[in-house]
Structure 1
Amino acid sequence: MKTWSVTFVASAVALAVSSSAFACTGLIVGKGASADGSIMIARNEDFGINNWNKHLEFRPAQDNKAGDWDLGNGLVVPMPKHFFAYSAIPDWDAHTVNNEGKFYEERGINEHNVAISATTSAEVNDRVAKIDPLIDAGVIEAVIPTLILPQATSAKHAVDLLGHYVETYGAGEGNSLYIADINEAWLFEIGSGHHWIAVKVPNDSYAMIANGLRVHGVNLASKDVMHSANLFEFVQEHKLLDKPNKKSFNFAKAFGVVADVYNVDREWLGQKMLTPSKKQQTRMEQYPLFLKPDQKISVNDVAEVLSATYEGTSLEEDGQRPIRVERQLESHVIQLRPDMPKELQGLIWQSFGVLPESVLVPLYTTLQDYPKAYQVGDDTYSDESAYWQFRSLTALATANQDKYLPMLKATWDKEESKLYKQVQHLDSTLETVYKTDKQAALNMASDFSYGQLIRTLNMATDLRYKMMTDLTKSTEKKYSDEEFEKIMNL
């Protein structure tokens, strides 16, 4: 195998991190707060530039030899004896910065139905950065799914594992990430080189996350809270809070930067959409960590939040950084459905490009082979790349946003409504078939997802052709009847 120098890899990581910092918006939904009893973790993956690319990949299970596991950014840990199978969505250039091609895998579900979405970047405050500095070769967004998904057997196990790695090897970034299985969902936050906290999301509530640390008002002694060793003592010793309280601990204020309008505007917007009955001022220092929704939350509701701007709200004129931005690479809504057979409990609703101008396609975890178009392409436009077919629709729409953006959203909204109904019907069929022919049910789920990837890609290509034709027509000069007759008779 080709060996990459640590310096080269570290430089590549630094460039990628600097481009993606302070990006992404996410949402965690407890099973009692969802419309169908599923747990959901969802996020927009945003980047610093528009022309990037993501590939769909499946990592099969494998046994490993004893030795070191080089994660590609300088982080080296003992190699686990076995890797569980899992799905991922790495960057197109994964192989140029990591010879194993497992870089910025972002989200996935493993064979134990443990799901991760990583991460929403978060700023670490200057005080903490001096006391417990970040570690260059530590745990970062680019390696978290790669590190945890092959090993975790439950959501809580994943929290334990990640916490161990942060405390033992250090963290290279402040981050919020989401971990779930069919029983529970956790919000995990990294606040310094070695300190972290994780809070279980109440079943009847949701958590809205932007790019600031969010955890506050939690009881450190609660069974629903996990954290680094001596966390409270560290905060107390270094006076990171004026009056630290174990029963109402403010991790975000101690380690992060609160009241940044770049973040709190989005937190306010998401909570306003899902709990409109709760009237909250804009630009508060901190918004509630968890809220109960006014209505049970569906996948479509999550998609609407991840597509939102400030239009029609009091922040329409001066809202900072809307949830929908043109530099989105992909969006995903991961569902864990406890009522389905084990192999069918995980479902990833996946889109490419900017969510309102794209479509969430349901991918059952039984799907292990993806159409070639979803596995090719780089940061240069290509007709062969699925990512570029979807992303180019937003680019074309900028030529006449008032005309094309509503058209694209309406088209894909209609398509997603069909897909929601189809999945609901298919789930019922799969449960029935599974009882008598397990493999047939698994194959049926895979075939459905593969087919929807192909079909929606064809739709995107057709939309691009139509928009190009319409744009070309719009540039035509308008001639008088006499002029037109002369031209046609030349």
Structure 2
Amino acid sequence: MACTTILIGKKASYDGSTIIARNEDSSNGTFDPKRTVVVTPEEQPRHYRSVLSHVEIELPDNPQRYTAVPNALLDEGIWGEAGFNEAQVAMSATETLTTNERVLGADPLVTLVPAKGKPGEEGYEPEVPGGIGEEDFLTIVLPYVSSAREGVKRLGELLETYGTYEMNGTAFSDADEVWWIESVGGHHWIARRVPDEAYVTMPNQLGIDDFDLDDAMGAQRDYMCSADLREWMAANYLDLTLSDADLGLAGSEEGAVCADGVHTRFNPREAFGSHTGRDHVYNTCRAWMMQRTLNPSDAWDGPDAEWGPESDDIPWCRVPERKLTIEDVKDVLSSHYDGTPFDPYGNLGTEAERRRFRSIGINRNNHLAVLQLRPYAPAATRCVQWMAYGSNAFNTLAPFFAQVGDMPAYLRDTTGHVTTENFYWANRIIAAIADPHFNDNVNTIDNYRERTMAFGQRVLRETDATVAALAEVGAGTAEVEGVLEEANQRVADELREETDKLLDKVLYTSSMLMKNSFSLSDH
């Protein structure tokens, strides 16, 4: 599944929050309607069976309540994607990643093997289930963890036990830490903690570019990995590091390379990832645009640029030039190379340049979930799930409290039926109408986004104050949840009203610009 991710450590965010955010994009030629729901322990399966891979897993009997953004149509499974649990752990799953032939030869992906023939017939071979994948991750992990680190460990154990049929990256956060885990081959994985002062940009490409094996195998302060990663890498000659120690140069770090030939510090992107022509038009260009936006003082353009849109060495994480906001997240995850020759709506480049690179805010964005953990807020209001549906170049982002028993119908009740009665389809319709006349509609859309996001921020602030006052008088959990659900409904009602107004405006503007228009009237 094509996606784009940004992760923000608590010292890099504007208010000390940890923030993990990701666009879920459908595959080319498909569109997957999305819902935002709360899953209760009673609704959580105890025996899980994947629709795509047919793998079957027995789940623990003590799930937490959690939020999720599943598909409205379940023909390919749940695809829960993003949410918070009751322990205030956030999970975003997944970012599909690339790999290389050496990795796949050393640890093949675990794919479904259909049955051959029928039972009782000569030569019958039963079906062999595949591993776990994006369809499954959130459902089988998020309800059972109490910290971001626990999320990494549980997912890692499941990957080692069942394998996977695809390379994926997954984010976890709690109030203190943000972690990123990448699957490597069928059963192996690596994980790195995002530095508190940094942000991470992730297109659909294996991203981690520096790894400390000693820490991962020992204290696990900032790194974790599958138990046999070092031995597996050594047996399959996967470490491509060429260090001073290899070259016999003076001053090389003692112990930089182990007896088995694997360096204690290596670049996973080189060892496990890919650098293909497809990456340059589909992946690296997105990381370039996000970092170009968030660190604008660097040289990003022209012959003196340190990194260009096709550079293979764009850093996985870096310190921003200023603290980052929710608006910054929405901006970079809506980007279509605005202000560059590569903008499909722009006029700076040639027609070929404007179609050269894959946009971040693309037509097949399914949803954007921004998971914010606010350490200063009352405990009940710390977890905020900002949601957008449809193509991000044409939509807005609205906040919803996650510690609730239900979500507003405007976001929850999406079906396969096209209608303006819910947020998903309303956004899809607006995007399709506005796209052919983008420059005529963009100011209207920008104003809509500013109004709705400002309203959302206001509701957060007011609800924090209300919940803090309730805590002082000893209000119960049910009363507090009722306040949060009322706040969520207030946001949804405003969102619906503003979205309906936007639809009216872009419909009028685009209708007036139709090719069959004619200025001479009968009257």
**TM-score calculated relative to the size of structure 2:** 0.82
8 Å CA contact 1:366, 1:443 repeated in 2: no
How many Å apart are 1:332 and its aligned residue? 1.4
Which of 245, 270, 275 is the matching residue for 1:253?
Answer: 270
Aligned to 1:180: 173
Cα deviation, 1:11-30, whole Å, max 9, x if unaligned, reads xxxxxxxxx3xx11110000
1:394 and 1:405 in contact (8 A); partners too: no
Question: Residues 202-281 of structure 1: matches in 2 within 5 Å?
Answer: 202-222=195-215, 223-243=221-241, 246-258=263-275, 260-261=279-280, 262-279=282-299, 280-281=306-307
The runs of 5 or more residues in structure 2 that have no matched partner are 112-129, 216-220, 242-260, 300-305, 344-348
Confirm or deny that 1:291 pairs with 2:318.
Answer: yes
Q: Partners of 1:419 and 1:154 in 2: how far apart?
A: 27
What is the match of residue 120 of structure 1?
95
Q: 2 CA distance for matches of 1:76 and 1:394? A: 39
Spell out structure 1 runs of 4+ moving beyond 6 A.
Answer: none
The within-5 A match list for 1:14-163 is 20=1, 23-48=2-27, 49=29, 51-62=31-42, 68-72=47-51, 73-94=53-74, 96-98=75-77, 103-136=78-111, 137-163=130-156
CA distance in 2, matches of 1:51, 1:394: 13
Q: Quick one: which of 381, 396, 410 aligns to 1:344? A: 381
Give the match's secondary structure for 2:438: helix
Name 1:477's counterpart in structure 2: 518
Asked if the contact 2:407–2:485 (Cα under 8 Å) also holds between the matched residues in 1, the reply is no
Q: Normalized per residue, which structure has more helix?
A: 1
1:460 aligns with 2:499: yes
CA distance in 2, matches of 1:164, 1:180: 18
2:453 is aligned to 416
Structure 1 residues 470 and 206: CA distance shift in structure 2, 3 A: closer
Q: Map residues 318-337 of structure 1 onto 2, 5 A cutoff.
A: 318=353, 320-337=357-374
Alpha carbons of structure 1 residues 470 and 289: separation in structure 2 relative to 1, 3 Å:
closer
Identity of aligned residues (%): 27
1:27–1:41 CA contact under 8 A, matched in 2 = yes
Residue 403 of structure 1 deviates from its aligned partner by: 0.4
Contact 1:171 1:194 in 2 (8 A): yes
Match of 1:12 in 2: none
C-alpha contact (below 8 Å) 1:33/1:205 kept by paired residues: yes
Q: Distance in 1 between matches of 2:507 and 2:337?
A: 29
Deviation at 1:288, TM superposition (A): 1.6
Number of residue pairs aligned between Structure 1 and Structure 2: 455
More displaced, 300-309 or 245-254? Answer: 245-254
Structure 1, 457-466 or 190-199: larger mean CA deviation:
457-466
The question of whether the paired residues in 1 share the 8 Å contact of 2:233 and 2:262 is answered with no
Cα distance in 2 for partners of 1:64, 1:299 equals 31
Question: How many Å separate the matches in 1 of 2:469 and 2:450?
Answer: 29
Q: Partner amino acid for 1:105?
A: G
Deviation for aligned residue 1:199: 0.4
291-300 or 363-372: which moved more? 363-372
> How many Å apart are 1:423 and its aligned residue?
1.9
The residue aligned with 2:330 is 303
- CA deviation vs aligned residue, 1:279-336 (integer Å, no higher than 9, x gap): 3321322222221111011111111111112232365544521211111111111001
Flag structure 1 segments of 5+ consecutive residues without an equivalent.
Answer: 1-19
Equivalent position of 1:426 in the other structure: 463
Asked if the contact 1:363/1:449 (under 8 Å) is kept, the reply is yes
The more displaced of 134-143 and 315-324 is: 315-324
Pick which of 467-476 and 398-407 moved more.
467-476
- The Cα of 1:387 is off from its aligned counterpart by 0.8
Distance 1:64 1:395, change over 3 A: closer
Separation in 2 of the partners of 1:119 and 1:321? 19
Moved more, 425-434 or 54-63: 425-434
CA contact (8 A) 1:159 1:188 kept: yes
TM-score (norm 1): 0.87
Q: 1:199-248 CA deviation, whole Å, 9 max, x = no partner?
A: 01111111111010111222122221000122122122211233365432
Tell me what 1:443 maps to.
482
Distance 1:397 1:205 in 2: 36
Partner of 2:250: none
User: SS of 2:212's equivalent?
Assistant: coil
Paired residues of 2:396 and 2:449 also in contact (CA < 8 A): yes
C-alpha distance in structure 1 between counterparts of 2:12 and 2:35, whole Å: 31
Secondary structure of the structure 1 residue equivalent to 2:67 = strand
1:407 is matched with which residue: 444, 453, 465?
Answer: 444
| TM-superposition CA deviations, 1:416-450 (whole Å, max 9, x none) | 13322442343244323322235444322221112
Residue 252 of structure 1 and its aligned partner are, at CA, apart by 2.1
1:140 CA drift (Å): 0.5
